[in-house]
Structure 1
């Protein structure tokens, strides 16, 4: 009898395991069949894809940076040639990769639209295709992408992709990749601000906030403002450009916001709104008293679904800098987002001390590096080498600081 009691659960377990294995094989087979049927088309304009594009972007896990309106704002400002990739399985749209062609040193590089100013890229994927894309054959997908882009680009370079985003594996994860030198930092927002702070050093952070508050009150107080009027939002963005330009100049770094196209793109995002979602919202810390109306710190945030991204920030170096007004503004922003359907506050790309102090989650990013032509093979190898060199340097604080000093001196 004892043997029988052991045998029955063992048989049941084996049957369940066999059934699970059979389901897994069927899923893999269905994905392979889907890839075999996969057709990738190339589009040089966004408009023919608008309806299905907007349908796919409803997915909460797709990046704001691949949304139709975000890409429209960029394309309107930069007017680069487009090479948008649509994958279809039969009559169903499987994915859309919003890609533009960037010319560099005689090479044609296919990149995500607006890649130079995006913090996370996921592409747009249908629910059905995303569910089983972990079993996707990367080799076959690469062949189809190369075929689609042949004659149009030399290199497919899709940057800043998390291999897994909020428990979903990216459909591009099986393609040739290199780890990006930059990581992103996130703070999950819990039921209350107090619970959110418990993920951090809550006691130390509250103490720091109280000290900052007292210092700001001592010089006359402050207002944390989010102007509703579009005109005021645009004015704050122009103030950001001025403050950031001064900061870059003091560090001897190039101003990545200086060109007219980038400014036009960001101004376009301010008017991008859809319910709770917005392309760009400016927030300011204004001082009172002797500094009445002066702006000590600025931030620009975006929202899609339950995900808020800090796109950039700046402080007035000549005004209350010793009070860390930028970090104080983060406290104000994050606390105010509770109870508004936000689950994740994203500090974006780049390793900085204030991000690590706020963000318990660190996300690795990767770049797809897929050569299309002979010159693309050379360009891809060069990108891999440079990126790995940057990863090596950034992993060594002393070496990284030395490299930053050299860069600042060279200007």
Structure 2
């Protein structure tokens, strides 16, 4: 059963002209938008899977993705369901993070998501825009203030797939990072015409020549769970080694996070691919050695690159990561994929591949008096990050400071 229900009745806003024009017509009062809060994901699974079918809803808010996160973590989860009469409008799946001073409601798995949309019905526009906005603000305040001090809807798009997103009606600020995409045009030749095709092919041939000197390579797509787990373990090893060499923290060095990605491999999902592992594997003298790994998720015609790594100990000068991306995109061009998403974060290799940049927004909704302070702090931190990232010199100083702190922490732990 749901924990609680909240109703927002739509007030009348007819002008005097409209009133006169419809004076002789008997009208029914507008149906209210009703919100309910659910603790158990299974209670709303049928509705959730129905909304999963809308291709504009991110895979990161899909039922199977969130269920895997719940199984790997012990966080408190709450799902807000909105309906117009008997017709489902939206679901917002939250986890409650308790800090020293604030309780924050975030969309499930936000820390490891590239795009957050929530889940909205394809015909959500049937709800009056003003009433939907009230439901997503006043309604959520009433529904969640007993559980959290502030709601943080992070990494949300104002526009997605060429359409305005329902959350764009809420006030927000620019996220420090954008996400980057490449449109796939049915085959590799047409897709490369959007880029510097000649340079891209030349770089790929150079990579192949260098790997041929080592005995050649295979492009591998893990089709069996055991193979996928082996490639995931290779990714963890490569990522850890790379970040240690750079003196940076490893966000994947966490038992719950690693368990989550393993669950994505094992969890059956109708139609979607929660996590597919692709790799470049050497032949010859280094037979079987994996030198590049990437993890992909697919929903409909949209593929997201979740992560990637390379082995810096061997054949690094062959650019195996770039070669792997080339082979992945080449394959997906023939499999009906229309959008390849490199995910959030501005990096040179993304800009070299991508033709689209999607700005993202952070929306903070204070629920309590303490939540107003939390929302102000969140906005200040986001603005500070955006300022730092916009200044290359300042960003480099901050990165060096992070590396020094990490080294000092590691040395202290070793002692």
- SS in structure 1 opposite 2:57? coil
Aligned to 1:19: none
Tell me the SS of whatever aligns to 2:178: strand
Tell me, in whole angstroms, the C-alpha distance in 2 between the residues paired with 1:267 and 1:173.
34
Determine the C-alpha separation between the residues in 2 that align with 1:374 and 1:337: 49
Match for residue 70 of structure 2 among 69, 75, 85: 75
- Unaligned stretches of 5+ in structure 2? 1-16, 18-27, 407-415
Instruction: Answer yes or no: is 1:233 the counterpart of 2:228.
Output: yes
Q: Distance in 1 between matches of 2:100 and 2:392?
A: 32
RMSD between aligned residues? 2.0
CA–CA separation in structure 2 for the residues paired with 1:207 and 1:284: 21
Q: Match of 2:166, SS?
A: coil
Does structure 1 residue 278 correspond to structure 2 residue 273? yes
User: Does residue 1:300 correspond to 2:289, yes or no?
Assistant: no
The residue number in structure 1 matching 2:82 is: 87
Q: What is the aligned counterpart of 2:58 among 33, 56, 63?
A: 63
Asked whether the 8 Å contact 1:298–1:314 carries over to 2, the reply is: yes
The residue that corresponds to 1:126 in the other structure is: 121
User: Cα distance, 1:174 vs. partner?
Assistant: 2.0
CA 1:180/1:34 → structure 2, altered by over 3 Å: closer, same or farther? farther
Tell me if structure 1 keeps the 8 A contact 2:303–2:337: yes
The structure 2 residue matched to 1:408, chosen from 393, 398, 403, is 403
1:388 aligns with 2:357: no
CA distance in 2, matches of 1:302, 1:35: 40
Q: Helix, strand or coil for the counterpart of 1:281?
A: strand
Q: Is the contact between residue 84 and residue 127 of structure 2 (CA under 8 Å) also seen in structure 1?
A: no
Separation of aligned partners in 1, 2:327 and 2:31: 51
SS of the equivalent of 1:119 reads coil
- Taking the aligned partners of 2:356 and 2:30, their CA distance within structure 1 comes to 34
Residues 132, 298 of structure 1: alpha-carbon distance in 2 compared, 3 angstrom cutoff: same
Shift of 1:48: 0.7
Conservation of the 8 A alpha-carbon contact between 2:34 and 2:82: yes
Task: After TM superposition, give the deviation of residue 127 of structure 1 in Å.
Answer: 1.8
Structure 1 residue 360, shift from structure 2 partner: 1.0
Structure 1 residue 138: Cα displacement: 3.1
Residues 244 and 35 from structure 1, CA distance in 2 versus in 1: closer, same or farther, beyond 3 angstroms?
Answer: farther
Distance in 2 between residues matched to 1:130 and 1:321, nearest whole Å: 50
Contact 1:133 1:171 in 2 (8 A): no
Q: Structure 2 CA distance, aligned partners of 1:64 and 1:191? A: 22
Determine if the alignment matches structure 1 residue 181 to structure 2 residue 176: yes
The 1:233–1:176 alpha-carbon spacing in structure 2 relative to 1, beyond 3 Å, is same
Aligned-partner SS, 1:173: helix
**Structure 1 residue 387 displacement after superposition:** 0.5
2:244 corresponds to which residue? 249
What is the match of residue 191 of structure 2? 196
CA deviation vs aligned residue, 1:150-177 (integer Å, no higher than 9, x gap): 1110010011101110122121112231
Distance change (3 Å), C-alpha of 1:136 and 1:395:
farther
Alpha carbons 1:70, 1:279 under 8 Å: kept: yes
1:135, CA displacement in angstroms? Answer: 5.9
Displacement of 1:55: 0.5
Worse-superposed segment, 374-383 or 394-403: 394-403
Residue in structure 1 matching 2:372, options 365, 371, 377 = 377
- Residues in 1 aligned to 2:275 and 2:94: alpha-carbon distance in whole angstroms: 22
**Does structure 1 residue 359 correspond to structure 2 residue 357?**
no
How has the CA–CA distance of structure 1 residues 340 and 275 changed in structure 2, closer, same or farther, with 3 Å as cutoff? Answer: farther
Q: 1:214 aligns with which of 196, 209, 213?
A: 209
TM-score of the superposed pair, with normalisation by structure 2: 0.88
Between 194-203 and 98-107, report the one with greater CA deviation. 98-107
1:104-128 CA-partner distances (Å, limit 9, x unpaired): 2232110011111111011111122
| Superposition deviation, residue 397 in structure 1 | 2.3
Task: Identify the residue that residue 158 of structure 2 maps to in structure 1.
Answer: 163
Give the drift of 1:292.
1.2
Q: Is the 8 A contact 2:31 2:85 kept in 1?
A: no
Could you list the runs of 4 or more consecutive aligned residues of structure 1 that deviate by over 4 angstroms after TM superposition? 33-36, 130-137
CA contact (8 A) 2:33 2:135 kept: no
Q: Which residue of 1 aligns with 2:338?
A: 343
Residue 127 of structure 1 aligns to a residue whose secondary structure is coil
Q: 1:132 to 1:184 in 2, by over 3 A?
A: farther
**Unaligned 5+ runs, structure 1:** 1-21, 23-32
